Structure 1
Amino acid sequence: LGGNPQVLSRLAVQAVAIDYAGAFLTAPGGYPSDRDWAPEGSVREITDADSAAAAVAGMAAAGATRLKVTSNSAAGPVLSDDLFRAIVRAADEHGLAVVAHAEGAGEAQRVVRLGASHLAHAPFTERLDDAEVVRQAASASWISTLAIHEDPERAIAMDNVRRFHAAGGTVLYGTDLGNGPMPVDLNPREIAALREAGLDDAALLRALAPGDPFDPTSVLLLSGGPASTADPLDARPLTPADLKV
């Protein structure tokens, strides 16, 4: 590169940040501890406040930037209110956000009330009432994952997201990549679902690149040719036109 500052600057803008949560934190025997797709070591079962603190400290030491806590009453036992709060307290001490997989009646409402700052999936078990949607819009973000669902779950999730977005809630683009066959690039089905839920171009860009330092200009596309042969210096900022489906 010959130390060319212009070239180096363009390469720096194209850097990719990867954040990870580490192991799922769940109740003994809770989801997804019994799933074939969850390999050994990918689940930590929380039995008391001490194990909660140890698990959170371990994830932080391993470089996790957030925690994934599961609360799926449809698939098995869930953490008690006290243990969920213990995880949230420990996460706060380490500066980690708590992302909750909430499934089953009342779970999306419960985990946000207990301190989860993000839902890993827009609520799809049941329709949240309008007052709950407004409360959550003020305190939590929802990761969309709308395209993984078929009706009736899809219809429920879409209705919840539409009202959540209208109430000023933060909707984040997410696909639950690996849950069935999905493209590794932008998923047009997810983009279409978000549009159907009322997100316009500006809201879609915010969903893809939320907040500092991830402003929309940091989301780049390689223009022309397959990614394996494209010149990274040809990358360009994502624009609303790229989100037309």
Structure 2
Amino acid sequence: MSIHFLHDRGAVYPGFLDAHVHLTLIDPRRLPGGGIARVLDLGGSLPDGLRTSMPDLAYAHQFVTAPGGYPSRTGWAEPGWSCTVATAADAASAVDLQVAAGASVLKVMLNSVAGPVLSTEALAAVVDRAHALRLPVVAHTEGAGQADRAFAAGVDAFAHTPFSERLADDLVTAMATRMTWISTLDIHGWGSHTLAFEIASDNLRRFHAAGGMVLYGTDLGNGPLNLGVNHREIVALLGAGLTPDDILAALCSPTPLGLVLSDTRVTFIPGERPHDPGDFAGWLIAARALTRPELEVLA
């Protein structure tokens, strides 16, 4: 990770990434002011013109789900945001539709709490087709056994740290050898810690300790989350055993999920990085994402 300093003004990092956002549910123009330079949009409709006005972006387009599955029957997701796969025979056309719309990552929904989920055969066919087209597959898993099913099918990443159940140690260790987890701890209570928060934190602590790759992500658009680096998410990551350097790595991943995002902005944090990890989150939320010309003016 390349870092340089503007005399005594502060530190400049590669553009910070939020690896789980829904841009159609927020005002993306406010993200740079909160330090976020790059985003991974994990489902939904993109605001008009965003594909060209925000180049530091990769996106999944529609949610791939079972007929009647999450989020097709929720109030927040519009009907056109979901693509249903009833059988393995439907998988190729569903994946191809996402590629035709410009998607560079696939999002599959495995939420057995909220409705039907893809069958084992359909899930495997979706993952196989996506991998044949060099698309990483990110899964939303919710409900007993769904994280295990996704892993067995070859999914590359979890959109959320698993929060429905405590995963067995041997499963977590196996996942750490080839999976990426996107954190999103703060959505479980938004500061008022819930059982799901405790379960997710415990799972993430063990996944990270086993060497698993963690990306910073917040699920922006889901609840009261500020549009920028989230202080509560950073504190939760520290609580799950990540060091400040680990968190910076999670924010600055150059090729998240193997994707190459543009890098028109860097992230600047004023002041000296604190030595006390307890002060780290407070320092980090002062970040701003700047274009190179803006950085030159600042210097």
**Which of 96, 109, 112 is residue 70 of structure 1 equivalent to?**
109
| 1:171-200, Cα deviation, whole Å (9 max, x unpaired) | 110001011111111011111111111111
Check whether the contact 1:146–1:154 (CA below 8 A) recurs between aligned residues.
yes
Match of 1:102 among 141, 150, 167: 141
1:221 equivalent in structure 2: 268
Mapped partners of 2:184, 2:291: distance in 1: 31
1:82-97 map, 5 Å: 82-97=121-136
Structure 1: gaps spanning 5 or more residues: 1-12, 237-245
Distance 1:221 1:144 in 2: 22
Q: Is the 8 A contact 1:223 1:235 kept in 2?
A: no
Shift of 1:219: 4.2
Q: 1:195 aligns with which of 238, 262, 273?
A: 238
* Match in the other structure for 1:180: 223
Is 2:154 the partner of 1:115?
yes
Match of 1:43 in 2: 82
2:176 maps to a residue whose letter is A
**How far apart are residue 40 of structure 1 and its match?**
2.2
* TM-score of the two chains, using structure 1 as the length reference: 0.83
- C-alpha distance in structure 2 between counterparts of 1:202 and 1:142, whole Å: 17
What does the per-residue CA deviation read over 1:112-154, in whole Å, with 9 as the maximum and x for residues that have no partner? 1111100000010000111011011012111000001031000
| 3-state SS of 2:107 partner | strand
Overall identity of the aligned pairs, in %: 47
Helix, strand or coil at the partner of 2:149: helix
Deviation at 1:55, TM superposition (A): 1.2
Query: Is the 2:63–2:82 Cα contact (8 Å) retained in structure 1?
Result: yes
RMSD after superposition: 2.8
Matched, 1:19 2:38: no
Whole-angstrom distance in 2 between the partners of 1:32 and 1:226 = 33
CA distance in 1, matches of 2:128, 2:220: 29
Q: Which runs of 5+ in 2 are unaligned?
A: 1-14, 16-36, 38-53, 272-285
> How many corresponding residue pairs?
222
SS in 2 for 1:65: coil
Which deviates more from structure 2 when the two are superposed, residues 59-68 or residues 202-211? Answer: 202-211
Contact 2:110–2:146 (CA<8 Å) still a contact in 1? yes
Alignment of 1:128 onto 2:167:
yes
Greater relative contact order structure (CA < 8 Å, 6+ sep): 2
How far apart are the structure 1 equivalents of 2:270 and 2:292?
Answer: 9
**Relative to 1, partners in 2 of residues 1:53 and 1:231: Cα closer, same or farther, differing over 3 Å?**
closer
> Between Structure 1 and Structure 2, which shows a larger proportion of strand residues?
2
| Structure 1 counterpart of 2:51 | none
